[in-house]
């Protein structure tokens, strides 16, 4: 009985003490925004807004998603998406020779390049089949000169009233310019015509998530330079700056970050030529290879002895991030941020995002950002809290020691 009472007291002690430590840890986050979820899919998503970038730590290391019970919800950050495209190139051919040996029918063809002095490349041959139903095994050979032949493989083609097979593989990126097709055991003289070489392949292209916004800017003249300044208070990761100016011009520029007197982040030329025979324009400053979150941003345009440019507006394109997390459409969640000392959490969901990105995801909305309002207790009450916790721990240790001593006496 004594053991049970002491064990219960120890458990209650830690139940009181541990929540205090957890609450103190959560107090380090300064902002939160409610997450409104909809839909029945397992995974929910939302995009990070400008205001979150402004108050979050660099790299979004301080983002935390918390459910109604105060438990952390795992998530990952996705910066973009991959576009997979299927491509198909068809090369036509010319018949070089047809002949028969024993019961086998031979057809030699030469592949026609798409352009002169270019190579051909393919992975299958496609035939035009006769009207009658048949099944024939064929052998394929390749050559670069139409004289020396290399064996490629054996396959079959057929046609029925319901199905047909008219394509055979010739290997990955085969570059032969001549092909020999041998129709085996062909006393019926089944003829394969219009032989084409097909090159089918897929490629993928990565595309980052981004948005565009117009910025307020200030412009001054310093000798022969136009000095443009705008602020990036939201700490947005800028990938491109778009300058809209009227007239025909061709001016050199230098772009600076936090220090307008230091080394430029980028230099180049801005131009716009709208003539009768020439219409070219290049007024965008591409920062995609070296995006910047600097503020202020200064652009110095060298006007030489010409008039300063009449700049109508400036827009920026900036990268945005997508957050993906497992959630329920009926549950309430909060996004916490604003803790420069927080480190990026490590969730195993990060290892699964390649597969999760192929799943359907429900779009969620973020509510109004609120600042955490924490009322700190007076110093005296704060000390009493720790004293109280310490007393409970000491009592627990004393009871355990007493229990052990009594057990030793009984022995």
Q: pLDDT digit string (tens) for 161-208?
A: 999 999 999 998 899 999 999 999 999 999 999 999 999 988 877 789
pLDDT in the model for residue 380:
44
Q: Tokens 């139903």, residue?
A: 133
Both 299 and 232 in a single domain?
Answer: yes
Asked whether the predicted pLDDT for residue 70 surpasses 80, the reply is: yes
Pairing of strands 164-165, 150-159: antiparallel
pLDDT in the model for residue 11:
43
Listed residue (255, 228, 256) closest to 244, CA to CA: 228
Both 293 and 326 in a single domain?
Answer: no
User: Mean pLDDT, to the nearest integer, of 1-8?
Assistant: 46
Both 187 and 92 in a single domain?
Answer: yes
Both 301 and 390 in a single domain?
Answer: no
pLDDT in the model for residue 3:
46
85 vs 350: which has the higher pLDDT:
350
Q: Tokens 């952390």, residue?
A: 72
Both 97 and 123 in a single domain?
Answer: yes
Q: Tokens 């205001």, residue?
A: 51
Residue 374: pLDDT band (50, 70, 90) is low
Give yes or no for a contact between 275 and 191, defined as CB atoms under 8 angstroms apart. Answer: no
User: Mean pLDDT, to the nearest integer, of 265-284?
Assistant: 93
Residue-wise pLDDT tens digits, 239-272 = 999 999 999 999 999 999 988 889 999 999 999 9
pLDDT in the model for residue 16:
42
Return mean pLDDT, the chain: 87
Q: Tokens 């000095």, residue?
A: 227
Both 189 and 273 in a single domain?
Answer: no
Give yes or no for a contact between 37 and 364, defined as CB atoms under 8 angstroms apart. Answer: yes
Is 292 a domain residue? Answer: yes
User: Mean pLDDT, to the nearest integer, of 2-11?
Assistant: 45
Cα–Cα distance measured from residue 179 to residue 217, given in angstroms and rounded to the nearest whole number: 65
Tokens of 152: 């490629």
3-state secondary structure the chain: CHHHHHHHHHHHHHHHHHHHHHHHHHCCCCEEEEEECCCCCCEEEEECCHHHHHHCCHHHCCCEEEECCCCEECCEEECEEEEEEEEEEEECEEEEEEEEECCEEEEEEEECCCCCCCCCCEEEEEEECCCCCEEEEEEEEEECCCCCCEEEEEEEEEECCCCEECEEEEEEEECCCEEEEEECCCCCCCCCEEEEEEEEEEEEEEEECEEEEEECCEEEEECCEEEEEECCCCCCEEEEEEEEECCCEEEEEEEECCCCCCCCCEEEEEEEEECCCCEEEECEEECCCCCECCCCEEEEEECCCCCCCCEEEEEEEEECCEEEEECCCCCCEEEEECCCCCCCCCCHHHHHHHHHCCCCEEECEECCCEECCCCCCCHHHHHHHHHHHHHHHHHHHHHHHHHHHHHHHHC
Top-confidence range, 3-7, 40-44, 114-118, 370-374: 40-44
Both 367 and 395 in a single domain?
Answer: no
Listed residue (128, 97, 102, 107) closest to 185, CA to CA: 102
Both 133 and 169 in a single domain?
Answer: yes
Task: List C-alpha distances in Å: 397 to 31, 298, 383, 401.
Answer: 40, 65, 21, 6
Is residue 143 packed enough to be buried (19+ CB in 10 Å), middle (13-18) or exposed (0-12)? middle
pLDDT in the model for residue 112:
95
Cα–Cα distance measured from residue 347 to residue 195, given in angstroms and rounded to the nearest whole number: 54
pLDDT in the model for residue 84:
79
User: Mean pLDDT, to the nearest integer, of 217-241?
Assistant: 96
Listed residue (288, 247, 292) closest to 270, CA to CA: 247
Domain with 164 in it: 87-205
User: Mean pLDDT, to the nearest integer, of 95-107?
Assistant: 95
Both 349 and 393 in a single domain?
Answer: no
- Compute CA 404 distance to the chain's CA centroid, rounded to the nearest angstrom: 61
Domain count, the chain: 4
pLDDT in the model for residue 302:
97
Residue 4: pLDDT band (50, 70, 90) is very low
Q: Of 18-22, 160-164, 386-390, where does mean pLDDT reach its minimum?
A: 18-22
- Which of 205, 228, 254 is the last residue in one of the domains? 205
Is 360 a domain residue? Answer: yes
Is 139 a domain residue? Answer: yes
Listed residue (32, 36, 33) closest to 331, CA to CA: 36
Both 92 and 200 in a single domain?
Answer: yes
For the chain, what percent of residues have pLDDT higher than 70? Answer: 84
pLDDT in the model for residue 260:
85
Asked whether the predicted pLDDT for residue 12 surpasses 80, the reply is: no
CB atoms within 10 A of CB 94: 10
Asked whether the predicted pLDDT for residue 5 surpasses 50, the reply is: no
pLDDT in the model for residue 381:
43
Residue 400: pLDDT band (50, 70, 90) is low
| Residue 162's CATH number | 2.60.120.260
Both 139 and 201 in a single domain?
Answer: yes
Is 1 a domain residue? Answer: no
Is 159 a domain residue? Answer: yes
Give yes or no for a contact between 359 and 42, defined as CB atoms under 8 angstroms apart. Answer: yes
Residue-wise pLDDT tens digits, 285-340 = 999 999 999 999 999 999 999 999 999 999 999 999 999 999 988 889 999 999 99
Residue 382: pLDDT band (50, 70, 90) is very low
Is 2 a domain residue? Answer: no
Give yes or no for a contact between 323 and 62, defined as CB atoms under 8 angstroms apart. Answer: no
Beta bridge partners of 207: 81
Statement: the pTM of the whole predicted model exceeds 0.85: no
- Which of 205, 224, 255 is the last residue in one of the domains? 205
Is 5 a domain residue? Answer: no
Give yes or no for a contact between 106 and 97, defined as CB atoms under 8 angstroms apart. Answer: yes
CA contacts within 13 A on the Cβ side of 317: 13
Cα–Cα distance measured from residue 204 to residue 336, given in angstroms and rounded to the nearest whole number: 35
Both 65 and 97 in a single domain?
Answer: no
Asked whether the predicted pLDDT for residue 408 surpasses 90, the reply is: no
pLDDT in the model for residue 329:
82
pLDDT in the model for residue 277:
87
Is 75 a domain residue? Answer: yes
- Which of 319, 334, 360 is the last residue in one of the domains? 319
pLDDT in the model for residue 390:
62
Listed residue (175, 163, 103) closest to 135, CA to CA: 163
């Amino acid at each position: 009985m004594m053991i049970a009472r002491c064990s219960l007291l120890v458990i209650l002690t830690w139940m009181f003490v541990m929540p205090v430590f957890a609450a103190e840890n959560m107090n380090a986050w300064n902002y939160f925004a409610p997450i409104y979820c909809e839909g029945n899919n397992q995974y929910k998503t939302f995009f990070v807004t400008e205001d979150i970038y402004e108050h979050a730590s660099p790299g979004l290391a301080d983002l935390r998603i918390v459910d109604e019970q105060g438990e952390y919800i795992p998530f990952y950050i996705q910066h973009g998406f991959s576009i997979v495209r299927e491509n198909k190139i068809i090369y036509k051919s010319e018949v070089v020779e047809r002949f028969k040996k024993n019961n086998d029918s031979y057809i030699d063809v030469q592949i026609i390049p798409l352009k002169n002095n270019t190579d051909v490349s393919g992975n299958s041959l496609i035939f035009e089949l006769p009207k009658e139903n048949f099944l024939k095994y064929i052998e394929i050979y390749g050559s670069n000169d139409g004289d020396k032949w290399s064996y490629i493989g054996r396959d079959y083609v057929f046609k029925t009233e319901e199905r047909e097979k008219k394509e055979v593989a010739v290997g990955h990126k085969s570059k032969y310019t001549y092909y020999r097709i041998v129709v085996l055991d062909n006393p019926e003289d089944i003829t394969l015509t219009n032989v084409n070489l097909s090159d089918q392949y897929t490629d993928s292209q990565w595309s980052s998530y981004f948005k565009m916004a117009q910025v307020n800017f200030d412009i001054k003249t310093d000798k022969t330079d136009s000095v443009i300044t705008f602020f990036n208070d939201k700490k947005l990761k800028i990938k491109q700056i778009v300058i809209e100016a009227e007239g025909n011009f061709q001016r050199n520029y230098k772009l600076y970050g936090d220090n307008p007197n230091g080394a430029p982040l980028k230099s180049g030329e801005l131009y716009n030529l709208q003539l009768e025979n020439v219409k070219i324009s290049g007024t965008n400053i591409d920062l995609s290879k070296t995006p910047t979150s600097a503020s202020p941003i200064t652009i110095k345009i060298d006007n030489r002895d010409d008039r300063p440019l009449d700049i109508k507006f400036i827009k920026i394109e900036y990268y945005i991030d997508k957050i993906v997390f497992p959630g329920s459409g009926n549950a309430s969640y909060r996004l916490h941020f604003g803790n420069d000392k927080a480190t990026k959490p490590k969730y195993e969901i990060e290892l699964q995002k390649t597969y999760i990105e192929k799943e359907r995801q429900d779009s969620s909305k973020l509510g109004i950002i609120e600042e955490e309002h924490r009322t700190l207790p007076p110093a005296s009450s704060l000390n009493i809290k720790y004293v109280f916790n310490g007393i409970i721990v000491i009592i627990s240790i004393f009871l355990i020691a007493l229990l052990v001593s009594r057990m030793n006496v009984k022995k």
